Every structure is written in structure tokens, then in C-alpha cells.
Structure 1
Amino acid sequence: MAKPNPRTTDALAAIGTFMAAQQEAGYACGTVRLRGTILAEYLEHTLNTEKVASLTASELVQQERADAWFDAADAGETRRRNTLTGPDAAAAHDSQRARIQTYNAFVDYLSLPDLHRPYPASGHGDRLEPEQAYKLLRTLAVRRPTGANAATAIRTAAVAALVAATGRTVPQLHQLNVTDIDMERRPIPVVTVADFDHPLDKHTVEILRRWLDVRAGITQALEGSDPGYLWIPTKPGRERAGVQPPKPGLTRAAVRTLHAAHRSLVLQVIGVPLRPYALLPRR
């Protein structure tokens, strides 16, 4: 029995078969999930705007409807969560690029390549302006979502503060030890990264002191064997194959752990899973 033509099927059903095809093609789960979310936004916006109950896939992707959706998304009208610059802020450059990539992949799936939209030039990503970065750091330092681990939250704020203060990435800051931070340096405290001293502002020093206090509480259980890593796990890991994990403080927190904690906390606090990269100053 011949498969139904996806162009003539209901748009919602076509989106479902498109996502299944993307999975079968080997795309990452995160990519497939994101594309499904974007296409659901497109369909919902179009149905609500035109006040119709359904559309076929080929009707959905017509240029006029796509134009209306992109314009609405660019103006922030399809946003479901707030942002650092308010609910009415324009869409981030890379979010619009993701919409275009998804739309083009969908029209390819429908065998309608003539509807392709040109890709915008690559931007800086979701890079924050200095004022936005400062506001985010202040928010991370004082707000802890319900159910979030307090130690992980302040560690995340400290990592983010050092990214912003030094212009270094998380992998570059990963190897820091406690002794690399000199809070008593006069006239300005510094952190030494790759033999270079970075001055620390008062706010960053405050966050780092809080993390060091929390860290000291965690490493007390090591009974004098603290190796001095700046970033340590905030709780024991899972038992693997019957082997107990090392106590927090005996190993460094992994780069992926620091990244994941940052994305998770920022998502809970402001509704956008910004990477630490967003805090790096523009060159």
C-alpha cells in the first residue's frame, strides 16, 4: 500500500511523520525535539491567526503564512516565556536562524524546495550586552528556584561571574585551584588563569566568597585531604557497578557538569537556557 503524500495530509500529522523521519535519519534527539517545538509554534500561530481548525502541510508552508509567522516570531509575539529584556523583546538572532533551518528541512521533507528561505549570516549567538550580563549574574546570585540545590546554584553563579570577569570559557576555567584566586591582592583582587592575572570586581568577589564558604563546608568531610580544586561536585555521584563514588572534593567537577548546571539554572530563572558563552564579552 502506497504511503500517503505528506503534502496533502493534515499539517499536524505531517509534522509527526517529519520528526519520525528525522529520528530515523540519525539527527540528535535534541535537534528533533527543537524542530518539533518550532513547527508546533508555526502551526499554532497560523491556526490562531487565521481562525481555522486545520490545514494541510502544503497549505501551512506557503510563503504568505511563513512570512506572517517569521514576522510575529521576530517581534517576540510567539514567545511563551520572559527574557532579560522583557516579554516584548525581539527574537534572538540564532532563534530565528533555527526557525529558518527547521522550515527549510520541513519543506525539503515535503519535496517543496522552491519554498526555501535564505539563511541569515551567522551572528554572535545569544551573546549578552554588558548590562544584561550583569543583571543575569545578580539574578543567579540572589534567586534560587524552588527545589534547586543551593550549593550547585552558588557554584553556577561563581562560574558565570568568572566567565564574565575574565572573558575565559568554562573549559579554560575548569583547571583552576583555590590558590589561583587572591582575594587579598591590593589594590584589586585577581584570579590567575594561564599565568595571566585578571582583576575581579566587587560583585564577582562577593559571589566567589560565598562559593568558597560553601565549598569549605563540603570538603570538611575530607579530613585534611582537600586537593584544592576550585570547582568540585556539590553532592556524591551515583554508585556504578557496585563501586562507591569518590567524596565531593576529591575530584574536579567535570566541564559538562558545570555547563549542564548553568543551562538548567538559567532556564529555571529566566526561561532561556543560555550557555556560559553568552557572558563572554563581545570583541
Structure 2
Amino acid sequence: MPNPRTADALTSIGVFLQAQQDAGYAAETVRLRGRLLTEYLEYALDEERTAALTAEELVRPERADSWLGAAGVGGTRRRNTLTGPDATAAHDSQRARIQTYNTFVDHLGLSGLQRPYPPAGHGDRLEPEQAHKLLRTLAVRRPTGANAATAIRTAAVAALVAATGHTVPQLHKLNVTDVDLQRSPVPAVTVNDFEHLLDKDTVAILRRWLDVRASITNALEGSDPGYLWIPTKPGRERAGVQPPKPGLTRAAVRTLHAAHRSLVLQIVGVPLRPYALLPRT
């Protein structure tokens, strides 16, 4: 078996991603790490003006730091962002790059080359206008290949995070009856016995989700348990047991989080978590 350190970097990246997949990492994580390592390799090849590098050459600390620095100021960006093409990289985006690099050098047996993580902070909290712009974008844009019902549910979850200041786990157990869009003079949602007033944009996206939800639960023939967030498609068969129909169970918190990250990444190129929409305090 060839030494992964001296193998062509692109080949080593492929072997690393297969190892990650075989180890049971989520498909979204493997895809993100593949995209970031490809970005790193393309940046290094362009900087060195060469056609190939070995994996050991690629992960030299000075190359990694140069890549991270360029990415931090938007130098590797291929898509626009909420704040323009030259915006600095999001805090979590940079952490994802460093985590990917560190995991890759571990795979190569070069853990001594790991780069330090930036300090934890609130760098990914969006300003109010940025959050509003993201919500508008989620509500109207659907990336190619995305499930329309999942996209609308994701937009509705994000809208309630921004409107209530609650996290996805705190909103997870809401029922349809907790949302009162007919309330006068202002619609509201009740979370933990407290009413949160809803703006017209949030009301509009919630109406769309409730319509989509109704089209899913109509197949339950009157047995709808009333959960607000439900799966938008059947799960996988496990050990010969058929999964429950969508609507009979709540959508899992991890499902709501994964759908949000995937949709935001496809639309704006940054894997922002729902946390980013929480109002600053």
C-alpha cells in the first residue's frame, strides 16, 4: 500500500474521504470536508504554480496558514454572501476549515502539524438585517435537487428561531396548536407558556409550511398527532421494519439542524447554524 504522505495529494484526499465515510461520519460532513480540502489543494497549486503536490507537501504549516489567511478575507470564495463577495469568512466557516485540516493531518499521521482553533465566540451571530435577508432568501430560493417541502420547513424553523430567540431544541416540541396565525391583532406562537408576536414575513412562511404539512398529514386519514415539525418524506427501512408515515412522529432535532445547514450552504455558500439567527443580547 503506498505511503499516504508521499502519494499525490488529490489521491490522498480521496482515500481520506473514503475512510471518513467508512468510519460512519455523516454524509454532509464528508462532503463539506471534501469541498474544503479541494479548495485548499486548488489554492496551494495556484500559489505554487504547479500541477501536483504530495499530501505531505500540501499540509506544510506555512501553506495551511496561507490558505486559512486567504480564506479568512474571502480570497477563496466562489459564491456571493449576505454581505458581499469580499466579506470576511464566518467564524464557524474558518473553524470548519481548521477542523478539516487537523483531521486530515491526523489521518496522515502528522498530528504535530495541527493548527490552533480560534477562540469560541459569537462571530456567527448575524446582524438583524443580515438575518432578515437570509430568511427572505430561504423563503423564496430553492436549490437544484432540494426537496421543496424540506426547504419550506427549514425556512419556517429559521423564521421562528429569529422571531422568538429560542434554539431549535427549544422549538422542537411545538405543536400546531401552539401557533395562532388568526390571533388578533397580531399572530403569535406560544413557547414555554410565553407568547411571541410574529411579523408578517414569519406568518407568511409559517402559512406555507402549514399548507405543506397538511398535504403530508392528509395521508394519515385522521390520525394526525399535531406535531408542528414532521418529516417530509418516509425514513429508511431498518431490519425489515417499515418506517412510520411522515406526521406520526416529530422530525428529530438533528434532522432540522442538518436540513438547515445543507440548505444554507447550498444557497449562500456558508454552513451557518440556526444559532446564527438568534438575536444578539
TM bin, normalised by shorter chain, reads 0.7 to 0.9
Q: Which residue of 2 aligns with 1:199?
A: 197
CA distance in 2, matches of 1:19, 1:245: 30
Alignment check: 8 A CA contact 1:233 1:248 kept: yes
Alignment check: 8 A CA contact 1:164 1:281 kept: yes
Alignment check: 8 A CA contact 2:93 2:270 kept: no
Alignment check: 8 A CA contact 2:7 2:55 kept: yes
* Unaligned segments of structure 2, at least 5 residues: none
**Shift of residue 171, structure 1, vs aligned partner:** 1.7
Alignment check: 8 A CA contact 2:165 2:278 kept: yes
Alignment check: 8 A CA contact 2:234 2:246 kept: yes
Q: Which residue of 2 aligns with 1:131?
A: 129
**Shift of residue 141, structure 1, vs aligned partner:** 1.3
Q: How does 1:130-279 map to 2 (within 5 A)?
A: 130-240=128-238, 243-279=241-277
**Shift of residue 197, structure 1, vs aligned partner:** 1.2
Alignment check: 8 A CA contact 2:102 2:111 kept: no
Cα distance 1:167–1:51, how it changes in 2: closer, same or farther (>3 A)?
Answer: same
Cα distance 1:55–1:145, how it changes in 2: closer, same or farther (>3 A)?
Answer: closer
Query: Which piece of structure 1 moves more, 87-96 or 154-163?
Result: 87-96
Query: Matched residues, percent identical?
Result: 77
CA distance in 2, matches of 1:221, 1:21: 41
Summarize deviations over 1:63-86 as a string: whole Å, max 9, x none: 543443232111211123332223
Cα distance 1:221–1:272, how it changes in 2: closer, same or farther (>3 A)?
Answer: same
Aligned residues between the structures? 279
Alignment check: 8 A CA contact 1:58 1:110 kept: no
Q: What amino acid is aligned across from residue 91 of structure 1 in structure 2? A: A
TM-score, normalization by structure 1:
0.79
Cα distance 1:27–1:102, how it changes in 2: closer, same or farther (>3 A)?
Answer: farther
Q: Which residue of 2 aligns with 1:80?
A: 78
Alignment check: 8 A CA contact 2:4 2:12 kept: no
CA distance in 1, matches of 2:200, 2:85: 30
Cα distance 1:196–1:37, how it changes in 2: closer, same or farther (>3 A)?
Answer: same
Q: Considering only aligned residues, what root-mean-square deviation do their CA atoms show, in Å?
A: 3.4
Summarize deviations over 1:201-251 as a string: whole Å, max 9, x none: 111111112222222333333343332221223334445555554443333
Cα distance 1:242–1:117, how it changes in 2: closer, same or farther (>3 A)?
Answer: closer
CA distance in 2, matches of 1:238, 1:39: 31
TM-score, normalization by structure 2:
0.80
* Unaligned segments of structure 1, at least 5 residues: none
Q: How does 1:84-95 map to 2 (within 5 A)?
A: 84-95=82-93
Q: What amino acid is aligned across from residue 197 of structure 2 in structure 1? A: P
